[in-house]
Amino acid sequence: MCSTPSSTLRLATHHSPSFSCISPSIAIMASENTPLLQDPPPDSVTNQDETSPSPSQRHGTFAAQLGALDGFALLISIVIGSGVFSSPGPVDANVSSPGFALLVWLVGGILAWSGALTFAELGTAFPGEGGIQPYLTYMYGEFIGYLAAWSWIVATMPATLAILCIVFVESIYSSLGINEPQPPITHKLLSLLVLFAVTVANSISTKTSTRLSGLFVAVKFLTIALLGIAGLVVVGVYLGSGKSKDLGGGDWHQKGWYAPRDTTMPDGSSFDWDNVSAWDTLGYFSAALYGALWGYSGWDKANYVAAELRDPRKQLPLSINTAIPTIIACYIAANAVYYVLLPWNVVSTTDAAAVTAISHFIGKVPAYIATFLICLVILGSILGNSFVAGRMTVAAANKRWIPSVFARVGQIGTYKVSSSPFKLPSSSSSNETAVTDTSTNPGDESPINALLLSTVLSAVYILLGNMRMLLTLNGLAEYAFFFLTVLGAILLRWKQPGLERPVKPFIAIPVVFALISGFVVIRGAVFAPVQAGILVGIWAVGGVWYVVRGRLRMWLER
């Protein structure tokens, strides 16, 4: 999963308490409680083009002072995270050859690219923060918007945090030469310890979270650069020695990159691809793609970039069309390095590919330094995702979709706490004094109740799941609603052809995303019925709560 840079964290902090920054056209439709994709009243359809704001009227939380280069850097920072270090194993275990594994990373990148451009269309047509929930509410009605928020709070974000904590611990063990197919309970307990430590860090104050997140961005780029250098050294030594000396795994020049081979599974068994039907192969491909999509997580934050660009109409597509291809190239190159540094039967068995590769290349002692850097990258991802999970929960609570206690900041339950016992040293300590009234310093208070809810849910996933199962659950939960969002954007082209769209990609782009993501969700659900069943159960519980909540509100208002 990706880490979230400080600038993105500040955006989430300021606007997540509510989804109020939507266009007048959204407000009109919401007030009438008529989803766009149903038949709205004729007068509202007529007025939508008139009420839709022009680019000059659009405004966000921050001043529009960034250029295309800034947008490029911000997207790079958001997307590149722990996935490129942890997902290669689950991807390789579900394909017949390394060449097809690289193809999966390419397809995942194309899916992220087309999705980012489509989300940019929605983000500039309806400016403001809040993720996909406002779009879904506008297009399908409040229930679907609510269900997306519920799914993110109960499934997507806890699964994300659980995966990251598991990868953090497994990376450490991998550097010690320990790769357990079924990690013991001690590994899970250590993952819980990491989760609780991050929750405490995010509970201190908003300033603490943003300061810590900035540290991890630089570490991320340094780690990826060192990994690339290692691969170049192996190839250079092999070619320079007349193909007589190989510092890597050997298979990269001895075997065909697209030749089917028996895959070694995490439990040590061998999987023969010769007896797999085409339909089952597509199922494995879907599972592999979920692993790659985990690495590209964060592409949907492109609309946050739009809020700070001086000219979103030109600069946002330029930022996306340069950043995403760069990320695709980095990911394919990094995965090629793993196949150069490691024997191919090792890649499919590890959940910490980068650490395993570096350990194999330069030995255990130097690899500890690389492990430390990679763990810092993963820790940054955990910190950023925990931060955002808390803000998502607050936003849902402020809309009365979940109990209002989760919207409170600076409190544990209903008890007011001070951040002063945990303060970090600061040259301006007056800005971090204890607060007894949230109105005096609301911006620095943390949503402790929301963070605790996220922590408890994530702990359940850590104890009951494993990384590979959670990757599929996370992918199903995310892409089900991504598919609905992009499908709605396509239908918007027909329902509102006159709507001003500062960013309007060619119609084939959202269509490609809808086709691929729809197939991946359906085939993935069939291929992984346990994860699909869990997700449907979570949605069912959310639906019941939505009905009960509505009736309770009606009863209380009598």
User: How many whole angstroms separate alpha carbon 344 and alpha carbon 264?
Assistant: 9
Residues in the chain: 558
CB 116 within 8 Å of CB 300: yes
What is the structure's pLDDT at 56? 38
In this structure, what CATH number is given to the domain that contains residue 137? Answer: 1.20.1740.10
The 3 state secondary structure assigned to 268-325 is CCEECHHHCCHHHHHHHHHHHHHHHHHHCCCHHHHHHHHCCECCHHHHHHHHHHHHHH
Question: In this structure, what are the phi and psi dihedrals at residue 473, rounded to the nearest 5 degrees?
Answer: -60, -45
Digit-coded pLDDT (tens) for 74-104: 777 778 877 888 889 899 999 999 999 999 9
What is the structure's pLDDT at 493? 92
The 3 state secondary structure assigned to 164-210 is HHHHHHHHHHHHCCCCCCCCCHHHHHHHHHHHHHHHHHHHHCHHHHH
What is the structure's pLDDT at 43? 45
Q: Interhelix angle for 364-398 vs 206-240, to 10°?
A: 140
CA angle 539, 91, 84 (to 5 degrees): 90
Name the pairing type of β-strands 270-271 and 411-412: unpaired
Q: Exposed e or buried b for every residue in 343-363, given b needs 16+ CB within 10 A?
A: ebbbbbbbbbbbbbbbbbbbe
Segment 246-272 shows an average pLDDT of: 87
DSSP-derived secondary structure letter, 93: T
Segment 164-193 shows an average pLDDT of: 84
| 264 bridge partner residues | 270
Helices (H), 241-277: 251-254
Closest CA to 297 of 32, 478, 434: 478
What is the structure's pLDDT at 127? 65
- Helix then strand then coil, % of the chain, to nearest 5: 70, 0, 25
Answer whether residue 396 is part of any domain.
yes
Closest CA to 502 of 40, 127, 13: 127
DSSP line for 402-417? S-GGGG-SSEETTEE-
Segment 14-30 shows an average pLDDT of: 37
| R_g of the chain, CA atoms, integer Å | 24
User: Structural domain tally of the chain?
Assistant: 1
Q: Interhelix angle for 448-464 vs 157-175, to 10°?
A: 60
Answer whether residue 427 is part of any domain.
no
Answer whether residue 543 is part of any domain.
no
Question: What's the domain range around 17?
Answer: 6-419+443-468+479-524
Answer whether residue 356 is part of any domain.
yes
Q: Is the pLDDT of residue 537 over 50?
A: yes
Q: Is the pLDDT of residue 171 over 70?
A: yes
User: How many whole angstroms separate alpha carbon 198 and alpha carbon 161?
Assistant: 10
What the block records as the tokens of 383 is: 């910190």
Closest CA to 39 of 550, 500, 494: 494
Digit-coded pLDDT (tens) for 214-247: 556 667 777 778 888 889 999 999 999 888 888 8
Q: What is the pTM of this model?
A: 0.76
**For the chain, what percent of residues have pLDDT higher than 90?**
30
What the block records as the tokens of 159 is: 């699964």
Answer whether residue 268 is part of any domain.
yes
User: How many whole angstroms separate alpha carbon 160 and alpha carbon 83?
Assistant: 11
Q: Is the pLDDT of residue 183 over 80?
A: no
Digit-coded pLDDT (tens) for 431-442: 333 333 333 344
Least confident of 2-6, 85-89, 226-230, 280-284: 2-6
Task: Give, in order, the Cα–Cα distances in Å from 523 to each of 97, 159, 172, 472, 526.
Answer: 21, 20, 34, 11, 5
Sequence-distant (≥ 6) Cβ neighbours of residue 252 within 8 angstroms: 339, 340, 344
Answer whether residue 304 is part of any domain.
yes
Q: Is the pLDDT of residue 211 over 70?
A: no
Digit-coded pLDDT (tens) for 293-312: 988 988 887 766 666 677 77
User: How many whole angstroms separate alpha carbon 20 and alpha carbon 22?
Assistant: 6
Answer whether residue 474 is part of any domain.
no
Answer whether residue 548 is part of any domain.
no
Segment 386-412 shows an average pLDDT of: 83
Q: Interhelix angle for 206-240 vs 6-15, to 10°?
A: 150
